[in-house]
Structure formats: structure tokens, C-alpha cells
Structure 1
Amino acid sequence: MTHPSSRPPQGRTPLRTVQVLGGGSAGSSVHVRSLTAGLVARGVRVTVCAPPGLDDTYGFTAAGAQFVPVPRRTDPVSVSALRAACAEADLVHAHGLHAAVRSALARPAQTGRRTPLVVTWHTRAHAEGARAHLLRLLERRVARASSVVLGTSSELVDRARSRGARDARLAPVAFPAPRRPPAPAHDDPERLGHKARAELGAVDRPLLLAVGSLEPHRGYGTLLDAAHAWLRLDPVPLLVVAGEGPERAALQRRIDLEGLPVRLVGRRDDVPELLTAADVALLPSRWESRSVLAHEALHSGVPLVATAVGGVPELVGDAAELVPYGDSRALASAVERLLVDPGRRAWLRAQGLAQAATWPTEDDTVAQILSVYDELTEPLR
């Protein structure tokens, strides 16, 4: 369906934008795919620059963009490849810190001035020692080079301002609600949930679900600590972790050595179906802005236990059980209380659906970002 404002005003050429992804995290990639579809529907020309292979995963071309594969930040040719892609752009929009650093170097000059650079900070990196100092320098460089910094949470907006951003604004991104493939008439949601539980080995026991890359900042060590407490429950709940990453081997060793009721199931394409089957979703991260799992859990009416970090409290409001980061006892206790209290679980389901209804829609997000683009490019057009 064509958006009513999809045609540019008479006598004006379509706005040409370049969307730049660095590592291509799930959250930023899903957002760029959604943004691309909305911008194209409004008559904007979109080029997506991202690591090779991401177009197959997220469908930028299918959404109407031109896709330019650009090597990841460690590749020395990435800046030159990006410079060529940005040569004719009216505006460059980078998603993430490292994408922004390269975009600031690659964007062309327009009649004596730099092409406007919009940067969305979806999350923040974590580092210690010398790397932490380097990280602050990079953040300062990006903040000062940007025409506008968009933060997906209030904390990120404050961080951008503290790093010297001239213009930093709150711009919460909208992720699509979980989309499930149509099921045969005989496959109702309850039956599908039973099938998923049977596959995972949780037919007669509670199912807990965590989703995300297996990296230190995700808090899975704390989650395994909490799993010790669940060994004394009857029945013992099964914790399923969907995701891949460098911590997998270490986590699996702990699971095997300590006999924990945990399954690492790797990267999955059926997370919405797993959520449908789960009794509780878990988000134990050290820091999150607008977590994809939190979005999907609340949209699906699945009770969520999450750490009270970053943008999580702002995102979920009263619709989740919040615990301190790194506190395995608090995490274990919150889960145990939910498992024995169906009334509380039902209340959280209802609160989650109500909270999700307050979030900006994909159309809202596109409209806000497009207004920023118009503001920055009007003098040039």
C-alpha cells in the first residue's frame, strides 16, 4: 500500500539517505529494516550499508533499499567502500558507535559543508582500563561530529550530551510485534506451545526462556547461579537459552559440571514460538536500552523478569519483575514467586499487553525520524 506522502513535492527530487550498520546486532538490524520499509513507502531513496550476509537475514532489498555490502569495522577497506556508497547521499544515518565513526570519516562534503550525519545510539559498549578511555574518545568524537544524536533511551540521550553532542533527542525505536507464520486450523496456540515444550523436554515442568548472544555482559553467569536454587523445586524448571556467542563453551562446561537444569539451544528462528511455550522470560543483562526480548515478551503476554538497568525500567514500566544486575538470589526468588503465583503471572500478562500498547508504532518511529531528516536537509533542497 502506498503511503499518502510517498511522492515528493513537485519540483523536488526524492531524498537520498544511506543507512549504515556496523556489527549488525539484531536490535539495530530489525530497526533499520523497519525504517527502510517506512522511508521507501514515503518516497525516500534508501541505501543500506552493512556487513555481507545481513541482507539475506533481514531483507533490506526486499523492503525497497539498495544494499551495499560493507566489511565489518576490522576490515581496512570498509571506510573506502562506505565513502563510495555515500557519495551522492543527502543524509547519512549511522546506527551504533563504530558505524558512526566510519560514517563520519566517509560522508562527503556538499558545497563546502559536510553531509548531515544522524546517529542512533541503540545501546552502549562496555570496556575497562585503556579500552574504556578509547571508548570515551570514540563517543566524544561521534557526538561532536553528528548533526543530531538520537538515543533510544533517556540514559543514552544524557550520555550523548555528556560527550558533547550539540543536539541529542529521545527517539525510542519500534520493533515489529512478533510475527508467527499462519498455523493449520488444527494447530491452536495451546497445541503449538505443547509441541515446542515437547521438543525442549519441558512437558511436565515449567519452562524459562532467555534469548541473546552468549557474551559476558548478557549476565548468563548470574543466570546459572540462579539455576542452582531451582534444583530444589518440584518439578525442577528447565531454563532454555537461545543464542550463540563466545561464552558458549564456558557456559556448557558449567552446566555439565554442576548438573544444572539448563539447555543451550543455539541461534533460533522460532523465538516467538518459544515465547508462546514459556512460563517466564528472563533478561539478566548488565545493560539494555530497548531489548528485543522485552518487546516480544510483553507483546506476547509472557511474564518477564529483567534487570533494572539502562532503559529497561523506562521500557517496561510496572509490567515486569525487576531485579538488580548480578543478584542471583533476587533473580531466583523472583522466578520462584511467579511459578507459584498464577494470579501474579496473569496480572503481568495483562500489564505487559497494556504497556506494549503505549509504545510507538513503526509508523510513529518513521515519522519522527523523517521529520529530523527534513529539518536537516531542507536548506540543501
Structure 2
Amino acid sequence: MTHVSSHPPHGQSALRTVQVLGGGSAGSSAHVRSLAAGLVARGVRVTVCAPAEADRAYGFTHVGAQHVPVPRSSDPASVAALRAACADADLVHAHGLHAGLRATLALSGLRVPLVVTWHTRAHAEGARAHLLRLLERRVARTAAVVLGTSSDLVDRARRRGARDARLAAVALPAPRTPAQPQDPDLSPLKLRAELGATERPLLMAVGSLDRHRGYDVLLDAARSWRRLDPVPLLVVAGEGPLRAVLQRRIEDEELPARLIGRRGDVADLLSAVDLVLLPSSWESRSVLAQEALHVGVPLVATAVGGIPELVGDAAELVPYGDADALAEAVVRLLGDPAHRELLKERGVRQAAGWPTEDETVAQVLSVYDELTQTQPLV
């Protein structure tokens, strides 16, 4: 195991870092909290610049970091507030593309190294896609180091002109054990009853109801499941602009599916489902995929982005946009308990090989050390 000093070298003050977070996905926000906790424990001063609601949800101050509320906006007042927070920093670490842009603007003229972690990629078409490329290029070329959470994000940063792009070690903060839900009223049987799946298979997808999530293909696949006995129930947890469109399809086509809205109990829901489905057009280190494998729930996912390298042989992978292949994989797994058990075993084994939180902090500290030219912190 790599040991990281909990105190700065003799005669040196503690390294001062600013972590910049935008609106923040669940994955990037949880990562920043985990990273802040590890850095603080190792004697690093951490300031997290994020919207006020992010600190309420993720508790950066609870792990010893200072929180400076900065809106996600790139307006002059927000950039000025961010610049003030970064004024005495030894290094700034932005998480996400838009956070990277705001950090780039805030650090203009300052000799402060910038690290940017690309946790995911934005989705845009037409003129917005051109603007997105320009934004990616500016952030990639400004950052001293770009850390990508999947190999294709590292390649994307290099194509956009990054001077130094590397694969990030990103740990999944360990979820609660599903066999021991925090709330006794959220036992698997009670959750299945609440969702209407006491005597039928329960399938789950989680994520914002956006176009790139592939829920249109998922509903196409659900038509095939109606011939099964009993008919599986698909639940989709999340909110987004496509809710009305998806709900109309479910009703008009009488599909065995329910939109259950945004949920704060996904870890508990995982204890209740038979299969997890991830039909997206692109994913990096999907938190849902990691949680499913970590707790041993069979996963069917599209072979896109960082998913194949993340899951290895521990999931059923299908092409994006192929409703028939998705439906066939689900039907095959539901009819083959032995293969489901094999996937569970493989999933737990695959998850055991992912970076730990200590390894994630150690990698980040080594990057900080390079850029600040301090004595080794790792």
C-alpha cells in the first residue's frame, strides 16, 4: 500500500488546494468529497468552491474542507468570487468541463497550476457541438494536466490539445451493504411491493431522462418482455426533459414500465432488483454500473465509452441502439439463474480490482507534487 504523509515536510507550510465543482453529477460530487477527505487527512488545506446546495448534499465541510459557495454560472461575479478563493492557492483542481472553463477564466494572469478532471463528456448537436469543441479545446490547452476517468476521455483531451492527459484513478465511495438497509422500512421485499413487483422480475435503470440515456431503445426492448410469464417490470429512476414523452409511450403502448422519479435510495433499490440496465449512448465510469457490480447485481449495458474497460467480462454488453439485442440479453438472463450467479461473482471480483479511495488520493497527490515542485508528498 502507498503511504501518504499526513504532515507537510519540515519547514514547509501545508499545500493549499482549491477544488472547483460545477452543478456536479452525483459521481463527480461524491469524488470531490472523497478526495477532500483524503487530502485533509494527509495535511493538505482544501477549499471546495461549489454551489451551496452541493455542500448541503455532500458535506464537504464535514470532512474538514472549507466551502466557498460559488454558483455554477460563468458570469463576472461568479468568476470574481472564484478568483478570490483561488488567490492564495498553490494549485487549483477543477472537476468537469464547465468547472474547468470557470477556473480557466478565474486564473487568467495568475501563476497557479490547473488540473482538470473530465468525469464525463457533454452531449451536443449542430452549432452547440461546435461550441462544445471550442470549450473543450480551451480547457484542455489551459490545464497543466487533464485527468480522464476513461481511456476515451484521455484520448479526447489529447485530440483537443492537452499538453498532458492521463487516466485518472477514481474510486467509487463504498455504498452501504444492500443486505443491511439503513431504514428497516426499505427492505427488499417492501421495496418490491412498493414498486409492484412482488411476484415478477424487477429491472431497473437509473439516470436523467435525457436523449443520450437510450430510454427510447429501452422501451422498444420492453415490448418484447410482455410475452414472458410472469412479465418483468421495468422501473426507471430519474427526472428530465423526456419524462412526458416516455410516459406517453408507456401508456399508449401498455408497456410494463414505470417512471419512479428521482430517488435518494438507489443503494436500497439495488438490493431489490433482479437486473440493472444501462442503455446509454455513452458513459465513462458509470456510478450505476459500479454500484451494481460492487453489490453483485447482474448488469446489461451498452458497449460504449468507458463501460467495456470498467466491467470487463462481468456484464452482458450489447450494441447501443439495438433494442433486439438488449431484449434478448434480458430474456436470456432471466431464464438462466446460473449465468446470473456467474455474473454476480464476476462483478464482485471485477469491483475488487478498481482503485481504492487511498489509491485515488495518492495519484492526485503525486500530480500535485509534480506541478508544485514541493518535496514528495507520496
- What TM-score results when the alignment is normalised by the length of structure 2? 0.95
The structure-2 alpha-carbon separation of the partners of 1:201 and 1:153, relative to structure 1 and needing over 3 Å to count, comes to same
**Residues 108-123 of structure 1: pairs in structure 2 closer than 5 A:** 109=109, 114-123=111-120
8 Å contact from structure 1 (residues 223, 328) kept in 2: yes
Matched residue, 1:137: 134
The structure-2 alpha-carbon separation of the partners of 1:139 and 1:85, relative to structure 1 and needing over 3 Å to count, comes to same
Structure 1 residue 195 displacement after superposition:
1.5
Aligned Cα RMSD in Å?
Answer: 2.1
User: Are 1:149 and 2:134 matched, yes or no?
Assistant: no
DSSP 3-state at the match of 2:271? helix
**Residues 53-68 of structure 1: pairs in structure 2 closer than 5 A:** 53-68=53-68
Q: Which moved more, 1:69-78 or 1:194-203?
A: 69-78
In 1, Cα distance between equivalents of 2:159 and 2:67 = 34
Matched residue, 2:47: 47
**Residues 234-253 of structure 1: pairs in structure 2 closer than 5 A:** 234-253=229-248
**Which residue identity is paired with 1:93?**
H
Structure 1 residue 185 displacement after superposition:
12
Structure 1 residue 252 displacement after superposition:
1.2
**Residues 209-288 of structure 1: pairs in structure 2 closer than 5 A:** 209-288=204-283
Q: Which moved more, 1:56-65 or 1:332-341?
A: 56-65
Which digits, 9 at most, give the CA deviation of each residue in 1:189-219, with x for residues without a partner?
xx92212111111000000011111111111
Matched residue, 1:343: 338
User: What is the total number of aligned residue pairs between the two structures?
Assistant: 374
In 2, Cα distance between equivalents of 1:283 and 1:63 = 32
In 2, Cα distance between equivalents of 1:248 and 1:21 = 27
8 Å contact from structure 2 (residues 202, 273) kept in 1: yes
Q: 2:289 aligns with which of 285, 288, 294?
A: 294
Structure 1 residue 264 displacement after superposition:
1.1
Matched residue, 2:38: 38
Which digits, 9 at most, give the CA deviation of each residue in 1:63-118, with x for residues without a partner?
111111111236552211211111111100011111101101102655xxx20000
In 2, Cα distance between equivalents of 1:215 and 1:240 = 16
User: Are 1:159 and 2:156 matched, yes or no?
Assistant: yes
Q: 2:123 aligns with which of 121, 126, 129?
A: 126
In 2, Cα distance between equivalents of 1:216 and 1:85 = 36
DSSP 3-state at the match of 2:93? strand
DSSP 3-state at the match of 2:73? coil
**Which residue identity is paired with 1:234?**
D
**Residues 66-81 of structure 1: pairs in structure 2 closer than 5 A:** 66-73=66-73, 75-81=75-81
Matched residue, 1:89: 89
- What TM-score results when the alignment is normalised by the length of structure 1? 0.94
Which digits, 9 at most, give the CA deviation of each residue in 1:308-334, with x for residues without a partner?
000000000000000111111111110
In 1, Cα distance between equivalents of 2:324 and 2:157 = 34
Q: Which runs of 5+ in 1 are unaligned?
A: none
DSSP 3-state at the match of 1:172? coil
Structure 1 residue 172 displacement after superposition:
3.1
In 1, Cα distance between equivalents of 2:217 and 2:108 = 46
Which digits, 9 at most, give the CA deviation of each residue in 1:130-153, with x for residues without a partner?
111111111111111000000111
Q: 1:195 aligns with which of 182, 190, 195?
A: 190
In 2, Cα distance between equivalents of 1:210 and 1:77 = 39
**Which residue identity is paired with 1:103?**
A
In 2, Cα distance between equivalents of 1:105 and 1:130 = 23
**Which residue identity is paired with 2:91?**
L
In 1, Cα distance between equivalents of 2:337 and 2:179 = 29
Matched residue, 1:357: 352
